[in-house]
Structure 1
Amino acid sequence: MGKMNTSVDTLVKSHIDKLALILINSHRQQLVARSYDKAVFYTPGGKREPGESDKEALLRECIEELSVDLLTSTKTPATIQLFGTFEAQAYGKSEGTMVRLSCFRVTPRDAELELEHMVKASEEVEELKWIDSSFDREKLTVTGIMILDDLKRKGLID
């Protein structure tokens, strides 16, 4: 029994909580990003800093990674809505280290579409790419694959 409890404790301690932006363009493609020296793309976002709400952290991360303020950059008044939560083995981390990704979308759709032409890679990001469900799964994180499959299943991307 002791070993089982230890591994459960380890799993609880090895949990990365992140926020991510799901942005879908006019061509029904999802935005993904790739950091320098990384082989895979991820859903843009990151971790909360102490005292930040989910939305504050997401806004800050999108300014840092995508060079855009989700709420003030668009002509159409925008809000941020929770889309869903995805959990999987964390990319590049030791076995059992899980990542929980709370994903958000910008609404209304008009505001989301305006962002399509505004996002650009910051110094933190080597490459941004718009992808559909035919994208090579080997080039995505596990949560990235789960999100892509969910978007396809819901008819949001091609």
Structure 2
Amino acid sequence: MTSTTVPDSAQPSSSLPDILVAAIALIRDRRVLMVTARGRDVIFMPGGKIDAGETAAEGAAREAWEEVGLRLDPAALTEMFTVAIQAHGEPDGRLVRMRVFAAETDADPQPSAEVSALHWATTADLFRCPPAGAEVLRLLAERGLID
């Protein structure tokens, strides 16, 4: 696992706590699964906030089920990296700290009630992503996993 973090000197001082989230990276044909949440115009990694009492892998697996109907075993998820970056739609200095897990399944994802559409994204979709999603796309491309 590697981490992408904002250097301390680049982090604005803020009393707001980081938003801790976990997401899955399901990659097929050099594209990664992303979603559009209802009422939103940007695309996100399938994931969300980690609930109290659950591990990041458990949170990623739960969110995969809730958002795209995939039943994933948290123990089978492999942590890839953590992205820490300005949180989309939050005050300056509030970071989202997203732990990204590689997921594998033969099942076909399906949008849930909170997701309006699925997208198989590449770096050509950077402009459609909030900062954390764009950074994930860049890191996946650097690793040669997506176009």
> How many residues are paired up?
136
Match of 1:68 among 67, 70, 76: 70
| Match among 118, 133, 146 for residue 128 of structure 1 | 118
Match of residue 20, structure 1, among 23, 26, 30: 23
SS in 1 for 2:44: coil
Could you tell me which runs of 5 or more consecutive residues in structure 2 were left unpaired when the two chains were aligned: 1-11
Report the alpha carbon displacement of residue 8 of structure 1 after superposing the two structures with TM.
Answer: 3.4
Q: Does 1:140 align with 2:137?
A: no
TM-score of the two chains, using structure 2 as the length reference: 0.85
Cα distance in 1 for residues equivalent to 2:139 and 2:13: 28
Note the C-alpha offset of 1:14: 3.2
RMSD after superposition: 1.8
Q: Which amino acid aligns with 2:140?
A: L
* Alignment partner, residue 82 of structure 1: 79
Determine which structure has the larger strand proportion and give its number: 2
Q: Quick one: which amino acid aligns to residue 93 of structure 1?
A: E
**Is 1:91 aligned to 2:88, yes or no?**
yes
Aligned counterparts, 1:33-112, within 5 A: 33-71=35-73, 79-106=76-103, 112=104
- Paired residues of 1:29 and 1:131 also in contact (CA < 8 A): yes
Aligned to 1:119: 109
How far apart, CA to CA, are the structure 1 residues paired with 2:59 and 2:142?
28
Alignment TM-score, normalising by the size of structure 1: 0.80
Q: CA offset at residue 71 of structure 1?
A: 2.8
CA deviations on 1:92-139 (whole Å, 9 max, x unpaired) are 111111100000012xxxxx2514xx211100101110011222x221
Are the equivalent residues in 2 in contact too, given 1:81–1:105 (CA < 8 A)? Answer: yes
Larger Rg: 1
